[in-house]
A and B are shown apart, each in its own frame.
Chain A
Amino acid sequence: MTAEPDPTRKNVLDDDTELVQAINAGDTQRFQELVQRYAQKLYTFSRRMCRNESDAEDLVQDTFLNVFRYLRDFRYETKFKNWLYRVAANTALKKRRRSKFAREPELPLEDLIEREEVAAPAEAPEWARMPLDQLLNEELLGILHQAIWSLPEKYRIVVILRDIEEFSTEDTAQILNLSPANVKVRLHRARLFLRDKLKGYFGRDV
């Protein structure tokens, strides 16, 4: 059965619309422009998703390959960027499903809460209070990257989209085909997990 187009639906126009329309009208030369526009963003997304650099490169390549293949199916119903990240997210998640480590652990909230921490009054830790530029260094960024890679994938992808790529909750929900409530739950757990890892790095206090 062919779906009837919804006459009440409006196309979403954004900075990419003209370029995407041109490519879909046959000007495939301009696909290169699309790649230039998004290569760095997709590379960042892929490096945060994949611990291994060559896996990240494969993910970028496969994503652009899928974008080229399916661009004609793009219906201008969402921002193009959301559709692009949806292709990237699906490509990443499919790769995982094919791997032998397909079963993913959950992050139960109770495991992320240290009861003594909420029961006992405490001050904010020094690392949470000192200026960000004094705190940041290569070693800390390395610890953070390791922590992000050690998150189960379904949590990792949410924290990358929300806190690194800075998509809104609504856009993240659209990209991952989840409800906004589900995005919020996963994001909170992912943040608590990362906070625990940072606490471990800074040691002892909160």
Chain B
Amino acid sequence: MMCDPRNPSHCLQLFDKLSEYIDGEMEETERREIETHIAHCAACFGCLQSLQRTIALCKQAGPQTVPAVFSTKLQTMIQHIRNAP
């Protein structure tokens, strides 16, 4: 991938790989190419930051507390299936 910050098709190629880059699941050469590109392309850098923020927000979307009523219901069900012949 040649770095050309003014070429939208290059940006589109990069866009496809941003998640792999964020997750650190990319070959070293490819990673360096992306870093070179985003250092010169404000649009792609913006995309990267908003995608990273989206992922960080997702990590805040759990955990969920089990309601006490449901917890009791679950225990009753488990007792029932354990006692079933």
Contact = CB atoms under 8 A, between A and B. Distances in A.
25 contacts: A28-B82, A39-B66, A40-B64, A41-B63, A43-B66, A44-B62, A61-B74, A64-B74, A65-B77, A68-B82, A118-B8, A118-B43, A122-B43, A124-B45, A127-B50, A128-B53, A129-B49, A132-B56, A140-B57, A144-B58, A148-B58, A164-B58, A184-B25, A191-B54, A192-B51
A135 B78 CA distance: 41
Nearest to B23: A169
Contacts of B71: 39
Interface of B: 8, 11-12, 15-16, 18-20, 23, 25, 41-66, 70-71, 73-75, 77-79, 81-82
Contact of B66 (A40, A120, A166): A40
Given A68-B81, A124-B49, A128-B46, 10 more contacts: A31-B78, A43-B70, A57-B70, A68-B82, A113-B15, A121-B43, A132-B56, A141-B60, A165-B62, A169-B23
Interface in A28-60: 28-29, 31-32, 35, 39-41, 43-44, 47-48, 57, 60
Interface stretch (A76-84, A91-99, A194-202): A194-202
B15 A118 contact: yes
Contacts of A136: 57, 60
A191 B51 contact: yes
Contact of B74 (A60, A109, A129, A135): A60
Contacts of A118: 8, 11-12, 15, 43-44, 47
B12 A113 contact: yes
Nearest to A40: B66
Given A57-B70, A64-B78, A117-B47, A128 B52 contact: yes
A128 B43 CA distance: 13
Contact of B42 (A31, A123, A159, A191): A123
The 7 closest A-B pairs by CB, nearest first: A124-B49, A163-B58, A118-B11, A188-B19, A128-B49, A128-B53, A44-B64
Given A118-B11, A129-B49, A47 B64 contact: yes
Contacts of B20: 184, 188
